[in-house]
Amino acid sequence: MNTNASIVAIVDALGLPPDAGVDARVPKKLLVEQGAPTSADKRAIQDGIDELQWLAACKPTTIGVPSFTDDTREYLEIAVVSCAFRPAAKAARLIELIHRAIPYPVLLVATDEQGLALSAAHKRHAQNEANKVVIERLVSVVGIRTDQLNTSEKSFLQSLALAKQPRRNLFILYEGWLARIEALNAARLNGAFAESDEPETIERRREALEAHSRLTREITSLRAKATREKQLNRRIDFNLEIQRLQAEISAHNKNL
């Protein structure tokens, strides 16, 4: 997979005006200083990141969408950032660290040998630290190969265009992109990509995705316990509980 071509494909899909372009390198030192709480995280950044690039700045003066401020958050700008990971990088952790390090809401395009990941994370003011922000919810979709797109992924890319997002303010715009990432995650479970800006639909799908993730983790844990269990009656109990959780997943999948 051509990393640069994949990043270009996402940026082109966003359909941002030329005024939003930045194209500036972000030094890893910034991430180490701002977003690495432990020595292990510092090593993960130094060893795992090949290049970090600030691609675009979406703000009122560049894309014509008003900023948003309330008691909880301040969205003055959305940063579009790309990151190329080295082989064996701790991609999931690095994605979180990048979102933590940059105070603006970020639309992050990350690439590694598995493909491309797109992520977004709503942020709010920290309660006990002035001028600090914390992540409320991070959502990502991984393993997109822009040279081998399936039907849902093609629909997903087409749905990312700025012209197709709600534009009341930057918070609502960012929620639109985040909801489309969730829609692709849902499509990978039910086979159909369905974008929506209806708050009720988005919340229903979000709850179903969270339930699917939680129940899947529980099933994985129970299967491991069942494999280790020597008593037949206990293995039967584990398997019955797995079946119950699978039925619960099926019920939630109706809301995807």
**139 and 218 both lie in a single domain:** no
Q: Are residues 84 and 183 in the same domain?
A: yes
Please report where in the chains the tokens 């039907």 appear, as a residue.
151
Q: Which two structure tokens, joined as six digits, stand for 32? A: 């180490």
132 and 242 assigned to the same domain: no
Tokens of 249: 């997943």
Q: How far apart are CA 10 and CA 27, in angstroms?
A: 22
Q: Give me the mean pLDDT over the 227-242 stretch.
A: 90
By CB atoms closer than 10 A (0-12, 13-18, 19+), residue 240 is: exposed
Q: Are 147 and 223 in the same domain?
A: no
Same domain, 106 and 223: no
Strands (DSSP E) along 145-239, which ranges? none
Segment 143-179, tens digit of pLDDT: 999 889 999 999 999 999 999 999 999 999 999 999 9
User: Tokens in use for 62?
Assistant: 């560049």
Residues 154 and 214 in one domain: no
- Are residues 210 and 191 located together in one domain of the fold? no
Angle at 156 between CA 94 and CA 93, to 5 degrees: 10
pLDDT of 1: 55
98 near 117, Cβ under 8 Å? no
Percent of the chain with pLDDT over 70: 99
Give yes or no: residues 117 and 210 share one domain: no
pLDDT at 2 (0 to 100): 60
Task: Concatenate the DSSP letters of all residues of 25-76 into one string.
Answer: E--HHHHHHHH--SHHHHHHHHHHEEEEEEEEEE-HHHH----EE-SS-EES
- Reported residue count of the chain is 256
Pairing of strands 68-69, 133-144: unpaired
Query: Do 107 and 130 belong to one domain?
Result: yes
Those residues whose C-beta lies under 8 Å from the C-beta of residue 251, and which sit 6 or more positions away, are: none
Q: Which domain range does residue 42 map to?
A: 3-195
Total domains present in the chain:
2
Residues 116, 218 within the same domain: no
- 254/220: higher pLDDT: 220
Whole-structure pTM value? 0.90
Regarding whether 215 and 191 lie in a shared domain, the answer is no
Same domain as 187, residue 73:
yes
Overall average pLDDT of the 199-220 stretch: 93
Mean pLDDT check: name the lowest of 5-19, 25-39, 59-73. Answer: 25-39
Do 247 and 224 meet the contact criterion of CB atoms below 8 Å apart?
no
User: What confidence category does residue 126 fall into, taking pLDDT thresholds of 50, 70 and 90?
Assistant: confident
Residue 34 has pLDDT above 90, yes or no: no
